[in-house]
Amino acid sequence: MARKKRIGILTGGGDCPGLNPAIRAVAKTAFVRHAAEVIGFKDGFEGLIEYQTRELHPEDVSGILTKGGTILGTSNRANPFAYGEKKRDVSKQALRNFRSLKLDALICIGGDGTLNIAHQLYRLGIPIVGMPKTIDNDLEATDYTIGFDSAVAVATESIDNVHSTAESHHRVMIVEVMGRYTGWLALYAGVAGGGDVILIPEIPFDIKKVCQKLDARGEIGKRFSIVVVAEGVKPGDSQLVVKRRVKGSTDPIRLGGVGYRIAEQIENLSGLETRVIILGHLQRGGKPTDFDRILATQFGRKAVELVTSEKFGYMTSLRGGKITSVPIKGAIARLKKVKLNLPLIEAARAVGTSFGD
């Protein structure tokens, strides 16, 4: 009898809704279609480095479709090529652990940081398949990433809830959302939540024009406004607002707090009372949306198909409504920025949304 295939799987980087549906899809496809074994690594690449694993069985992935987070745990600090405070290269150790488990492939679910590491491990000799996950939706070569839609839903609901208090107190409410260096999350949530002003990194803004928009609303009797701000915008001084730096992380810069800088500028220029809500990690929590559950399920099936066909060094992708695969190397070559001619931007402008330009 042929030996059963053994597939490794890990989730790296920040958590988000949709990871558990992705794990479920990989495991169930492996069990049902191929009678394969699935070995999960705990806490991302840390599990691969430290040999921390758990074998997944059908009962382990039953009932997790609707759950946020990841049953395997995750980490954004465990880089096999720069591990720990001393930044040691323990990639050979990771390779030995992989081989000692007699795995046929390793499926890595994550964003650009995780997939960069995955690509390096692939070059080292580990047969890798990637699955794109990030609430920032900033990975090239896929239209959407797992977790983005769920984060948009959380941010949109938060913007909805802010409207009543903004209107009651006649205030400007700034809602700061995540997204790192791109504006996908702010754009989608801002449009869905009816933001009057949306500020994203791809469109440089003038604070005076933002205030003109707010004043114009006041002149027609709208005594409140909602301003949706991406954490990666530069408030006029061409400097990102960095909340802190995390040693040992694959991406040590933590953005956050730009909303307060913009609020101060608005109050100084317009005199309008302004308050700030920073959604932060709230956007990473909660149940995955139906879109993310469906996307993760399709990506999981495709990932196992790539393993069984030995198409390594590739990442699952959604392109024009079709599930396909692309080389990981191309997917991580550059960030996917919001294009200025995006139809959604034109639609937002058409209904009166200002981008501060």
Residues 6+ apart with CB under 8 A from 73: 11, 42, 43, 44, 47
Shared domain for 262 and 319, answered yes or no, is no
pLDDT tens readout for residues 16-27: 999 999 999 999
pLDDT tens readout for residues 174-225: 999 999 899 999 999 999 999 999 999 999 999 999 999 999 999 998 999 9
Residue 47 belongs to a domain = yes
Residue 348 belongs to a domain = no
Cα–Cα dist 271/233, whole Å: 22
- Select from 285, 308, 339 the last residue of a domain: 285
Shared domain for 91 and 176, answered yes or no, is no
Question: What is the model's pLDDT at position 43?
Answer: 97
Shared domain for 138 and 174, answered yes or no, is no
Question: What is the model's pLDDT at position 250?
Answer: 60
Residue 336 belongs to a domain = no
Question: What is the model's pLDDT at position 149?
Answer: 98
Write out the two tokens for 237.
Answer: 């001084």
Highest-pLDDT range among 153-157, 166-170, 219-223, 281-285: 153-157
Tally the domains of the chain.
2
Residue 344 belongs to a domain = no
**pLDDT of 173 over the 60 cut:** yes
pLDDT band for position 269 (cuts 50, 70, 90): very high
DSSP-H helix ranges across the chain:
19-34, 45-50, 91-100, 112-124, 148-169, 184-192, 207-219, 258-270, 290-308, 328-331, 343-350
Check residues 238 and 107 and name the one with the higher pLDDT.
Answer: 107
Residues marked as catalytic:
136
Residue 249 belongs to a domain = yes
Shared domain for 156 and 270, answered yes or no, is yes
pLDDT band for position 251 (cuts 50, 70, 90): low
Residue 46 belongs to a domain = yes
**pLDDT of 1 over the 60 cut:** no
- Written as one letter, the residue type at 213 is K
Average pLDDT over residues 118-132: 98
Q: What is the CATH number of the domain that holds 240?
A: 3.40.50.460
Average pLDDT over residues 88-111: 97
**pLDDT of 163 over the 60 cut:** yes
Q: What is the CATH number of the domain that holds 43?
A: 3.40.50.450
- Select from 285, 305, 321 the last residue of a domain: 285
Shared domain for 170 and 140, answered yes or no, is no
Residue 264 belongs to a domain = yes
Residue 140 belongs to a domain = yes
Shared domain for 140 and 166, answered yes or no, is no
Q: 199-202: which pairs have CB atoms within 8 A and are 24 or more residues apart?
A: 199/227, 199/228, 199/229, 199/230, 199/233, 199/262, 199/355, 199/356, 200/230, 200/233, 200/338, 200/355, 201/230, 201/232, 201/233, 201/234, 201/337, 202/337, 202/338, 202/339, 202/340
Shared domain for 186 and 175, answered yes or no, is yes
Question: What is the model's pLDDT at position 184?
Answer: 98
Q: Quote the domain boundaries for residue 234.
A: 152-285
Shared domain for 128 and 174, answered yes or no, is no
Stated pTM of the model: 0.94
For residues 275 and 172, the answer to whether their CB atoms sit within 8 Å is: yes
**pLDDT of 167 over the 90 cut:** no
Shared domain for 13 and 138, answered yes or no, is yes
**pLDDT of 309 over the 60 cut:** yes
**pLDDT of 237 over the 80 cut:** no
Shared domain for 13 and 136, answered yes or no, is yes
Shared domain for 45 and 136, answered yes or no, is yes
Question: What is the model's pLDDT at position 245?
Answer: 67
Shared domain for 162 and 91, answered yes or no, is no
